[in-house]
Amino acid sequence: MTRLWLVRHGPTHATGMVGWSDLPADLSDTDALARLNAHLPADAPVVSSDLTRAVTTADALSPRRRLPHDRDWRELNFGRWELRRWDEVEDQARARAFWDDPGDTCPPGGESWNALTARVTAAIDRLAAHPEVIVVAHFGPILAALQLAEGLTPAAAFTHRIEPLSVTCLDLGPAPRAMAINHRP
């Protein structure tokens, strides 16, 4: 069994859809980081997405053994919708389909929910040798992992909030389950 401690990176304060843009995280809330650090297992290794906001958040969880960054933990690729607000997307029908019925619909030049879930599945499989791992990632990959662990539909996974610097803890054994979702230590 592997226990994943999924941490969402610190806030970016962006107002649009942030996927693969390499924005920094605001890590000025040192009290929140101290509580987060105290809540996580001290001897679990840390892996993060390769995007700066995840890398710097993972660096704030030291001193822990770091595993190489993993691109498969990146946020959803929003393609031409990147950094746009919902109301700025030209094709509203496509945008509605993307969010209301997540699956194979994708933003122009981006990726679908199903493609993201496949990436996250591969990333999780690579961590199976570890009993516990702290993963610093993004909203989409954390929801995809939750969907896999709980056997949820994509739409059901989307009903969960995943706040910056929150922890979602998943046990991925013979009977996978969520131990905590969006926990703010």
> Which are the contacts of 134, defined by CB distance < 8 A and separation ≥ 6?
5, 7, 40, 41, 44, 45, 46, 47, 58, 61, 64
pLDDT beyond 90 at 1: no
In this prediction, residue 84 carries a pLDDT of 93
Distances (CA, A) of 134 to 38, 81, 124: 13, 30, 12
Give percent of the chain above pLDDT 70.
100
Distance CA 7, CA 166 (A): 6
The pLDDT confidence band at residue 173, using thresholds 50, 70 and 90, is confident
What is residue 62's predicted lDDT score, i.e. its pLDDT?
78
What's the rounded mean pLDDT across residues 108-121? Answer: 96
Structural domain containing residue 8: 3-183
**Mean pLDDT score across all residues of the chain:** 95
d(CA 133, CA 148): 17
Tens of pLDDT, residue by residue over 56-93, are 999 999 789 999 999 999 999 999 999 999 889 999 99
User: For 122-144, what is the mean pLDDT?
Assistant: 96
pLDDT at 86: 87
Number of domains in the chain: 1
- Residues 104-119: what's their mean pLDDT? 96
Prediction pTM value:
0.95
What CATH number corresponds to the domain at position 112?
A: 3.40.50.1240
